[in-house]
Structure 1
């Protein structure tokens, strides 16, 4: 099948699958890249280290997309965990990068072992999905509040891109082909160029060179990051991608997809990149009917993979963005990029059962507490689970399958 798909790829290219692959790449390289840059800024990482991080997550993500899509003939899009980037950004404020890299490696090994053991489905049932999503919502919430603060700080510079985003989002059919976040970025570039009092430095074109990071291991860092990162990859990101492929009529290779998420995460780690995973909304775009016949939609994923590898090649240009764009504007764009993700996570937290557990998970996470040097996201999961046992006993009698809310989210994205 691999040889056949490789041979057929050039003649199967069409406006539809090229367009969907390109739009999926825009969604993955606009807002999510800003989130990674914001996390790197919080951790005070150097430009070369940030460039290596970008090189890893887009390069490995692109290669995995090419490998899996060509081998299985399905539109499987790999990228990186967006909630994971936010978790890492918080951890880098009080831990050295090499300690965080050690946690990445442990995360990748466990994900790989879960894949080869076939225990992924059982793991997803350990914690109620609303409790997990309550933690994710708590992690994402600061991006929304930072967006509001950025507009208050500079209403003209940051308000115009926000208005453009809202205006483009109003037209659903158009926004499916032209991401509103891209419109906000274009508006931001125009504001930087033409608004008075805004000065920027030029970006230099250069080729990315990955930087090897020697890992170190710490129980406190492993305790803070590993479980939340595993959950964001397996129970959130990969689960969304799997649900979206299934809703489009495919039979995704779940164990293989998990195995390669683990392998990709390990490789990413040595170059400063956080875990690899299936990209849910991007996969929805790739599998859309506009990508052509059902058996030919993998071509859109190939386009995505090639473009992701090119972005990795020129990663130093991306790492200079924090020095070129005002910090408040990056906050605005990062917040705008997270709006739909935050809406979906809040919906999945509080629209079904286990509301009390989800609320405790959410509140503990946004509190920012740290116990035994282990951060709030982990304690949010623990506290939310305990609250579920005491306050949501009636829901435990009739547990909801973890995939149900994710499938609803997949359907919602597909309709858009």
Structure 2
């Protein structure tokens, strides 16, 4: 299977898969990287420890993306838990990196155990897809609204690529061979060069990351503060998003394998001072979008992402300067364009079939951004959506299979 998939990959690499893989990589190497740098500064980490952290989260994420997408031929993108970064930044302010690494290791072992017992697969099967997609729609909605905020922030730099995207979208035959988002990216690259003050005047300095081994130590206070929240962010927030996106796109994701590799990634990351590895919901949504190509070939976009993520990890000291070279509003604009089709499908899957009330509660709670017990809104969106369904959608549990939620189009 591996040999066959490697041999067939070149003919599956299209402009669409390349552009969506590139957008997903830019998406993960801009805003999220800034959050990591802020957390590292808050924890007073050295430059070497910070580079090792970046190497772990991007390098491990890239390798897991390559493994899963090659083996299963699915557009699965791995990265790291963004809510986890915020938790870790707060914890590093009063715990040592060694103690925090011990919590990372315990998190990975617990996720792996839950996966091997089949608990996570059973949990994901018990969650109605519309409720999960309501949570996904709530998570992705800000990326859509940021598209228009970015245009207002810089009408020329961000407005012209959006106009190029819309014009290219008018020509159906052309857009199949030349994705509109790729045209928008090329327009943005030209504008960065010609518009004064659009890009940074600085440049990249060549430097390769060196992993810094960290000996984990186990402190009950640190573990009590981090382990359960990190497990929940991986299993019930990040991975749940990716699983829901793949199912809504007509795929059957290998839930246990996805979760097991998340646990293994967490364990590997812990020894170099990096936090949780997990499925990246928004990035997987970009990869699984129809702009990546035909249904069976979209895994090629994940291959592009995996290679680029590994490069970001390898050149971590250089990658740390990327968010300062490309305006954040431009990244948001490109990411928002990539999310248009995904958002349409998310709302369709949430509100066109069963469990509409549960999906609405899940969506609204997620959009609210509430955080309870250091656990983010997507988790509480799932909990609230399930509770609402039990009260308001009871009739939907008894519908025959032919009346269940509509299946998405595969291409």
Q: Into which bin does the TM-score normalised by the smaller protein fall?
A: 0.7 to 0.9
Instruction: Provide the rounded CA distance (Å) in 2 between the counterparts of 1:340 and 1:130.
Output: 17
The correspondence for 1:275, drawn from 277, 287, 291, is 277
Instruction: Provide the rounded CA distance (Å) in 1 between the counterparts of 2:363 and 2:299.
Output: 37
Unaligned 5+ residue runs, structure 1? 292-296
What does 1:16-95 align with in structure 2 at a 5 Å threshold? Answer: 16-19=11-14, 22=18, 25-37=21-33, 39-40=35-36, 43=39, 52=52, 54-67=54-67, 74-76=72-74, 78-80=76-78, 84-85=81-82, 87-88=83-84
Instruction: Provide the rounded CA distance (Å) in 2 between the counterparts of 1:253 and 1:375.
Output: 25
Contact kept, 8 Å, 2:153 with 2:329, in 1: the verdict is: yes
Instruction: Provide the rounded CA distance (Å) in 2 between the counterparts of 1:255 and 1:275.
Output: 15
Instruction: Provide the rounded CA distance (Å) in 2 between the counterparts of 1:253 and 1:79.
Output: 13
Q: Secondary structure at the match of 1:394?
A: helix
Residue 194 of structure 1 deviates from its aligned partner by 0.9
Matched, 1:327 2:332: no
Structure 2 vs 1, CA of residues 309 and 115 (structure 1 numbering), >3 Å: closer, same or farther?
same
> For structure 1, which segment, 149-158 or 271-280, has the greater mean C-alpha deviation from structure 2 after superposition?
271-280
Instruction: Provide the rounded CA distance (Å) in 2 between the counterparts of 1:152 and 1:352.
Output: 36
Q: Structure 2 length as normaliser, TM-score?
A: 0.74
Structure 2 vs 1, CA of residues 145 and 284 (structure 1 numbering), >3 Å: closer, same or farther?
closer
Contact kept, 8 Å, 1:364 with 1:383, in 2: the verdict is: yes
Contact kept, 8 Å, 2:357 with 2:393, in 1: the verdict is: yes
Q: Secondary structure at the match of 1:369?
A: coil
Residue 230 of structure 1 deviates from its aligned partner by 0.7
Contact kept, 8 Å, 2:208 with 2:314, in 1: the verdict is: yes
What does 1:354-365 align with in structure 2 at a 5 Å threshold? Answer: 354-365=355-366
The correspondence for 1:227, drawn from 217, 232, 248, is 232
Matched, 1:195 2:190: no
Instruction: Provide the rounded CA distance (Å) in 2 between the counterparts of 1:115 and 1:273.
Output: 18
Look up the match of 1:264: 265
Structure 2 vs 1, CA of residues 240 and 321 (structure 1 numbering), >3 Å: closer, same or farther?
same
Instruction: Provide the rounded CA distance (Å) in 1 between the counterparts of 2:121 and 2:38.
Output: 34
The correspondence for 1:237, drawn from 226, 236, 242, is 242
Q: Secondary structure at the match of 1:205?
A: coil
Residue 18 of structure 1 deviates from its aligned partner by 4.6
Structure 2 vs 1, CA of residues 312 and 372 (structure 1 numbering), >3 Å: closer, same or farther?
closer
Cα-to-partner distance string for 1:219-262 (whole Å, 9 max, x where unaligned): 46555553243134544424655787967xxxx86644442232
Cα-to-partner distance string for 1:326-381 (whole Å, 9 max, x where unaligned): 33333323333333333333333222211112212222222233334443333322
Structure 2 vs 1, CA of residues 306 and 383 (structure 1 numbering), >3 Å: closer, same or farther?
closer
Structure 2 vs 1, CA of residues 49 and 334 (structure 1 numbering), >3 Å: closer, same or farther?
farther
> For structure 1, which segment, 137-146 or 208-217, has the greater mean C-alpha deviation from structure 2 after superposition?
208-217
Contact kept, 8 Å, 2:26 with 2:331, in 1: the verdict is: no
Look up the match of 2:164: 164
Unaligned 5+ residue runs, structure 2? none
Structure 2 vs 1, CA of residues 232 and 307 (structure 1 numbering), >3 Å: closer, same or farther?
same
Residue 274 of structure 1 deviates from its aligned partner by 4.1
Look up the match of 2:372: 371
Q: Structure 1 length as normaliser, TM-score?
A: 0.73
* RMSD of aligned residue pairs (Cα, Å): 4.3
Look up the match of 2:343: 342
Look up the match of 2:394: 393
